[in-house]
Amino acid sequence: MNAKERMASFLAVLAAALYSLSSPFSKILLSDIPPTLMAALLYLGAGVGVFILMIIRGALGRQKTEAHIAKSDLPYVMGMVTLDIAAPILFMYGLENSSAATVSLLGNFEIVATAFIAFILFKEHISTRLWTAIFFITVSCILLSVEPGASYTLSLGSLLALGATVCWGLENNCTRMLSMKDPMEVVVIKGFFSGIGSLCIAASLGQMSFSTSHVLVALFLGFVAYGLSIFFYVSAQRYLGAARTSAFYAVGPFIGVALSFFLFGTPPNVLFPIALPLMIVGTYLSSTKPHEHVHKHEPVTHNHWHRHNDGHHSHTHNRIVLGWHKHMHVHESLGHSHEHCSFKHTMN
């Protein structure tokens, strides 16, 4: 592993660690901030924070190589923003009605939702390994959603959290259509428009009671746990690829579980020790092994980060170009077999 890959691996783990802060610290803030307002503040914090980073990047002259979102991308942008309004609101209500550890672990159901939606809507191949992973994750989520008692019932908080992951699964499939665009631009659009949408809903529900200090903390949490996490994830993905980066990022919910136990002391319920190892197995299977089969790539012209030793980029340059670089280029129709992901997992 060279120096750039070591740095990228560090950034991927850092992205996971930052995202893991969301559930336990949001749980604390929900004691003062209503759920819908909390969702708005997290996304607004991400948008404002990354917008400031964009200004700094522009001042340093480093934005010229990034592709901007075009009019043809608007349907995917609208889908992304709408789902990013619904998902965090459901997630915050789920967090309010369940333990932070349970909700953190349920976050991995997003893997299942993203895969099923990609399979049904985009006809993407799902390997036997991924189907096995889906089975383990689904069983774990069922156990986490059951509320032990005289009669076992489904937990409202868990069901709301699962609803959020389904929305994020749909959102992932919209966002992946924007994956060749400037990642900072995507995060800023997510943050501002989804945050403003959630803020309007919070106002209409009368959920605008808060303390200024807690609002500032929530905005900062959104910048760190959502904004910076996505930025570091995309930066790592450019050197590691989607599969290896997802493998690192999948540890995020487990870090969240550990933080929740540390902050709140008690495990969620008696089924948690059974659900945890099942979730670990499912997450490992889903994120560590790409599959391989013969597949065809249709012709496309686009602008994104690439290198010339990946089997996809055989075009030539007027000068010698080594390593990762970015420019508009053409892909001819290509059929071949190599390892690749069953679906593209994009972070919230």
Tens digit of each residue's pLDDT (9 = 90 or more) over 15-59 = 889 988 998 999 999 989 999 999 999 999 999 999 998 898 888
pLDDT higher than 80, residue 269: no
pLDDT of residue 1: 57
pLDDT of residue 345: 40
Average pLDDT over residues 102-110: 83
Q: Give the Cα separation of 193 and 319 in Å (integer).
A: 42
Which residues are bridge partners to 337 per DSSP?
294
Which residue is associated with the tokens 């200004």?
55
Yes or no: say if 45 and 188 are a contact pair by the CB < 8 Å rule.
no
pLDDT above 70 covers what percent of the chain?
73
pLDDT higher than 50, residue 344: no
Q: Which range is most confident: 38-47, 58-67, 108-117, 200-209?
A: 38-47
Average pLDDT over residues 75-92: 93
pLDDT of residue 275: 86
Q: Give the Cα separation of 184 and 190 in Å (integer).
A: 10
Average pLDDT over residues 325-348: 56
Yes or no: say if 89 and 43 are a contact pair by the CB < 8 Å rule.
no
pLDDT higher than 60, residue 348: no
Q: Give the Cα separation of 310 and 4 in Å (integer).
A: 17
242 or 283, which is more confident?
A: 283
Q: Give the Cα separation of 124 and 131 in Å (integer).
A: 13
Three-state SS at 206? coil
pLDDT of residue 321: 59
Residues sharing a CB contact under 8 Å with residue 73, sequence separation 6 or more, in sequence order: 177, 178, 181
What pLDDT band is residue 94 in, cutting at 50, 70 and 90?
Answer: very high
Average pLDDT over residues 290-311: 59
pLDDT of residue 295: 54
261 or 295, which is more confident?
A: 261
Amino acid at 24: P
Residue 266 — φ and ψ, nearest 5°?
-110, 140
pLDDT of residue 225: 93
* Among candidate residues 291, 280, 287, 289, the one with its CA nearest the CA of residue 248: 287
Q: Containing H/E element for 240? A: helix 229-249
Amino acid at 3: A
pLDDT of residue 63: 59
Mean pLDDT taken over the chain? 79
Q: Give the Cα separation of 163 and 117 in Å (integer).
A: 14
Q: Which range is most confident: 31-35, 96-100, 119-123, 154-158?
A: 31-35
Residues sharing a CB contact under 8 Å with residue 311, sequence separation 6 or more, in sequence order: 336, 338
Average pLDDT over residues 210-239: 85
pLDDT of residue 337: 56
What pLDDT band is residue 286 in, cutting at 50, 70 and 90?
Answer: confident
Yes or no: say if 30 and 89 are a contact pair by the CB < 8 Å rule.
no
Residues sharing a CB contact under 8 Å with residue 2, sequence separation 6 or more, in sequence order: none
Out of 101-105, 323-327, 329-333, which region has the weakest mean confidence (pLDDT)?
A: 323-327
* Among candidate residues 19, 3, 2, the one with its CA nearest the CA of residue 234: 19
pLDDT tens column, 166-189:
998 888 778 777 767 788 888 899
pLDDT higher than 90, residue 128: no
CB atoms within 10 A of CB 90: 21
pLDDT higher than 70, residue 333: no
pLDDT above 90 covers what percent of the chain?
24
22 or 270, which is more confident?
A: 22
pLDDT of residue 302: 65
